[in-house]
Each structure stands twice: as C-alpha cells, then as structure tokens.
Amino acid sequence: MFAVALTPTALASGGHYVFAGGTPGEQKQVTQALDASSFDWNLVPLQVTIHIARDIPSSYSTRGQT
C-alpha cells in the first residue's frame, strides 16, 4: 500500500510549499536547497506541492506542482 505524507506548509524565503512523499531527511534536503536559492519565493503567489519519489526516469512540473 502506498501512503502520501503531507507535512505542514513550510516557508523558504517567502515561498509556500508542502511535500507529498519523501522521508524527513529528503524533505529537509529539499528545504535546505530552497533556502539556499537566490530566487525570491515571494514571487510565487500559490502554494506549491513538491513530490518526492524514487525511480522516476525524469522530472517535470505542472502548475502548482513540482
């Protein structure tokens, strides 16, 4: 059975996002990368869902999803 764990909304330099999947360590690594980014996340007006999964041959994003 597959379960998706959503964490509370996190803030990375103003951005609003939630995670779908990933271990706490993987989520922390993504959060640290977003925090280190020079991008002004306040420019993104909507909440973004970040999906973390294994064995995906390529990555892509759709509106409101990464």
Helix (H, G, I), strand (E, B) or coil at 14: coil
Q: Which helix (H) or strand (E) holds 15?
A: strand 15-20
pLDDT tens by residue, 6-17: 444 444 445 688
How much is the pTM? Answer: 0.63
pLDDT tens-digit series, residues 25-58: 999 998 898 888 888 877 888 888 888 888 877 7
pLDDT of residue 23: 92
d(CA 2, CA 39): 33
DSSP 8-class letter at 51: E
- Per domain, the residue ranges of the chain are 1-66
